[in-house]
Chain A
Amino acid sequence: MSKLLPKIIFTSIAIASAIGGAIYFSWTIAENQTASNQNSIAKDTKTASFVSVWDEETEPSYSGTKEMTVYRSPNCGCCGVWIEHAEKHGFKVKDIKTEQIEAIKQKYNVPPQLAACHTTIIDGYAIEGHIPADDIKRFLKEKPKLAGLAVPGMPLGTPGMEARDMKQPFQVLAFNNKGEVQIFKEYQSY
């Protein structure tokens, strides 16, 4: 990864349009509100349009499938931000909120120990968690005999998980339908 920005910089648009918008300003009136009025935190996620190290397009020649389906829990606070990341990189996302996300993971052979917060299906592959969009493009170009990619856990700093200047090293893992795993790409610093 090229070193685009030393840290995430949020545009002023972000403040207005972020999840965000409502939550961020809700505190000033929150004291007299009931909690149920504020349940929207994670639910709607046309989210932060901030500048991220992951914004740069590194696979401009990609010409494969663009349509993907993302399954996520209705309460997932970070999945929507990842969807925005995918959209920035040219993917067209069908966003499905479901409580049955475990069944999806099983159907697509995602090893349980690699599970993350949302599961993306594209070209029959399962793409699990906060994976850089351009890694998906590289993966799909190769059309490997594998079941998919995963970034287990929710490392801070990955696309959709940007948090100040925190950047946890992480690995993009590839898995097959026997549950075997290999490293597809490693990010020590980014």
Chain B
Amino acid sequence: MAKINRRQFLVLSAAGAGSAIFASYTQRRASYSQGSSNSPLDLSKLHHSSNGLLELDLEASESPVNLGGKRAYLLTYNGHIPAPRLEAKPGDKVRIHFTNNLSQPTNLHYHGLHIPPTGKADNVFLRINPGEKFTYEFDLAKNQAEGTFWYHPHLHGLVAEQLFGGLAGLFIVRGELDEIPEIKAAKEEFLVLQDFALDNYGRPMDSGHMSLMMGREGDLIAVNGQINPSFSLPANGLLRLRILNGSTSRFYRLSLENHPFYQIATDGNSLNEPIEVSELLLTPGQRADVLVKGDRQPGQYRLLNLPYDRGGMGMMGGGMMCGRGMMGGGMMCDRGMMDRNDRNATIALATVNYESSVKSIDLPNKITSIPALPEPMQVRHFELNHGMTPAVGMAFLINGEPYSGELINTQVRLDTVEDWEITNTGVMDHPFHVHVNSFQVISRNGRSESLPAWRDTVLVRRGETVRIRIRFQDFTGKTVYHCHILDHEDLGMMGIMKIR
């Protein structure tokens, strides 16, 4: 009888290939200095362009890593959790020699980049089989936004499982933004947020035991592959945190004790000026760049993850079931299927320590100028929910349709502007992501959005209607839009758009 059985993990033996991997692991180990971000950066974790070219080898494989002091066997790019950070500039050429050493087919998606959805670029329809190589090659446009982007697998049906295994890394586009004096003077840190659920062997928990309907969440939350790492904030200075929610389904509601955030970017796109916020809600796929002012009593402050209820069939939180209140003392440890215990809990994700004082830095006044988009030529409606369908049974749906892989759901014309009205009639929140072109939020539940911002992923809460405005620019071809709770995407909540 078929169980969910799409994954066959490589079994690492002590002999043969296994020992080679272990050898390279011990060499890498120095870079995992637990809980400190001050160690010199391991160069294999950063690749930046030079002379207009970013070129690297990238291998996806199962690798042993140190996760919170424990040995884990995760899915990695070049052995790292998170994957190596890539940095390039607008106008650069990017060439990635990719090798798939996973036991499943995969591919790469360049989340948020404005590059072609076809060929050797952001082509999510590619299927790179185990053992195969593929060279990605594309140019970043001269007008590519500068900011925080990322890359991860995007082969429908396997996305959640592979991302949950650890496959995610930053793609930073550098440029004029980084030259604004106040931003340049700020201390820069990258925070990749990922969650993991490990079985007794240190491998990601089997999909069959995870709550796929809610979207799988893990109980181990890592920041840059570390549990509660420390970052330093120069007294009187500025700390620039560039944060990615690289989790499969988990939302993060972030707050830094005693310090507001001054948000300067959404999803890799600069805001007009810094916006003061006390909390930052990041859905899967979203990024934010914030500045923190070192103007409080020097000391230690926790970066907190506050509770957030993203819905789900009246399931109200509650603890892990292992061994608690069992009648008869039997073992019952189906952890993944139980609702996680932290919807009502606040967790420290990282610690910020004051360090020696610097000359005081002000916040920047003006960062960029976001133009309003012209009125739309067309308005489309998308309804998000899940339900029973004749074709596949229980599925997540857009306008009542699960993803088919072939059918083109939406045809749009290049160089036109459209409004998309996205309504969530379901019982869970769904973050909606569009590939290739960024958009602006026009209104939420009919109330116009006051903050001008470019985004590629927007939260549509249960019961909410969000109207976005999008211009299809520069690139034709087929691409997708989908829920970024990647289990929902894998279970059908994705549509194909053709730009022509």
Which single residue of chain A is at the shortest CB-CB distance from B3? Answer: A167
Contact B319 A30 (CB under 8 A): no
Given contacts A105-B314, A171-B332, contact A41 B400 (CB under 8 A): yes
A75, closest chain B residue (CB): B427
For the complex with contacts A112-B317, A168-B337, A181-B325, 4 further pairs of A-B residues with Cβ separation under 8 Å are A18-B388, A24-B401, A42-B387, A153-B338
Q: Tell me which of B99-107, B204-212, B223-231, B275-283 binds A.
A: B204-212
In the assembled complex, the Cα of A113 lies from the Cα of B344 at a distance in Å of: 12
The A28-47 residues at the B interface (CB cut-off 8 A) are 30-31, 33-36, 38-39, 41-42, 45, 47
**How far apart are A60's CB and chain B's nearest CB, in angstroms?**
23
Residue of A nearest to B1 (CB): A189
Of B188-196, B252-260, B297-305, B376-384, the one with at least 4 CB within 8 A of chain A:
B376-384
CB-contacts of B1-49 with A (<8 A): 1-4
Decide yes or no whether B313 CB sits under 8 A from chain A.
yes
Residue of B nearest to A190 (CB): B1
A149 within 8 A of B: no
Residue from B314, B325, B391, B392 whose CB has the most chain A CB atoms within 10 Å: B314
Cβ of A116 and Cβ of B315 under 8 Å apart?
yes
List the B side residues contacting A69 at CB < 8 Å.
none
Contacts of A113 in B (CB 8 A): 317-319, 321, 338-339
Residue B247 interfacial (CB < 8 Å): no
Complex-state Cα separation, A167 to B321, whole angstroms: 22
User: Top 10 A-B pairs ranked by shortest CB distance?
Assistant: A113-B318, A23-B400, A117-B313, A77-B387, A154-B213, A163-B394, A35-B381, A35-B423, A162-B393, A182-B327
A139 within 8 A of B: no
* Residues of chain A lying within 8 A (CB to CB) of residue B385: 41-42, 75, 77
Quick check: is B443 within 8 A (CB to CB) of the other chain? no
> For the complex, is A135 an interface residue (Cβ under 8 Å from B)?
no
A interface residues, how many (CB within 8 angstroms) = 71
B455 at the interface (CB under 8 A from A): no
B313 touches A73 (CB 8 A): yes
Residues of B contacting A178 with CB < 8 Å?
325
Q: Which of B2, B387, B388, B409 contacts A6 (CB 8 A)?
A: B2
**Chain B residues closer than 8 Å to A78, beta-carbon distance:** 386-388, 394
A11 to B214, CA, bound (A): 28
Cross-chain contact B332 with A152 (CB below 8 angstroms): no
**Complex CA distance for A182 and B331, rounded to whole angstroms:** 9
23 residue pairs A–B, Cβ–Cβ below 8 Å: A10-B391, A20-B390, A26-B399, A26-B400, A36-B423, A38-B383, A39-B383, A39-B425, A42-B387, A42-B425, A48-B388, A81-B394, A112-B318, A113-B319, A154-B211, A155-B337, A163-B395, A163-B491, A167-B1, A168-B208, A182-B327, A182-B330, A183-B332
